[in-house]
Amino acid sequence: MKAVTLISLLLLVLLTACKKEDTGDPFPPHTEVGENTFYFRVNGTLYESEVGHISSFPRIRVFYNHIDTFLNNHYRFEIRGNKVILEHNKGVGIIVNSMPNKGVYSLSDRELYGTGSYAFYRDVKPVEKYFYTNNDYTGELNITKLDTVNHIISGKFRFRAKRWLHNQESNQVVTVDGQFDVKYKPNIGVSYY
């Protein structure tokens, strides 16, 4: 009888230890090795920007370079992830000026000449709609890895954005979060199709 109890107890311990813990995170485990992945979730719906399909529209586009302009010398980072298959034609873009290190960066309003750090969500079907962060609807980008030797940038983001309409007011707001792990080419942009 002791053997049956001991075996039952051992099986219970093994099953408990092997049970996958549900963290509630809809994304795959976050990597920091330059896998060229981009996942985003809009109002709870998950999208992946798969690389490797034939298209004239890049699934992932990333820029990280030193810009010498009249605006000041600064490191500008831009990443865009798109889901472009049949009914899906959606994309997320994040632009951060002055990003020389890993860390957390605020996303708010686009400033004059595009100098602000901001995010946007684009939904093309059935009608084209753009949502932008602003001073009331903000977010953040957390760069978890910035490897300037192997040219890898990884991070997570979250933001709320309001629909932009020319000369009109909109009450539509989206909530977006996601993660990415990409390789970049120094001083030029790279697109992954």
Distance from C-alpha of 147 to C-alpha of 102, rounded to nearest angstrom: 9
51 band by pLDDT with thresholds 50, 70 and 90: low
pTM of the full predicted structure? 0.80
Catalogue the E-assigned strands of 88-172: 88-97, 103-107, 118-123, 129-132, 139-147, 152-164
* 53-110 tens-digit pLDDT: 555 567 898 988 756 454 555 678 899 988 876 556 889 999 998 888 899 999 998 7
Note the pLDDT of residue 112: 61
Per-domain boundaries in the chain? 34-192
Identify residue 120 by its one-letter amino acid code.
F
Closest to 156 measured CA to CA, from 49, 34, 39, 48: 39
Quick one: what percent of the chain has pLDDT higher than 70? Answer: 74
141 DSSP β-pair partners:
105, 157
Position 3 pLDDT exceeds 60: no
Helix intervals (H) in the chain? 2-18
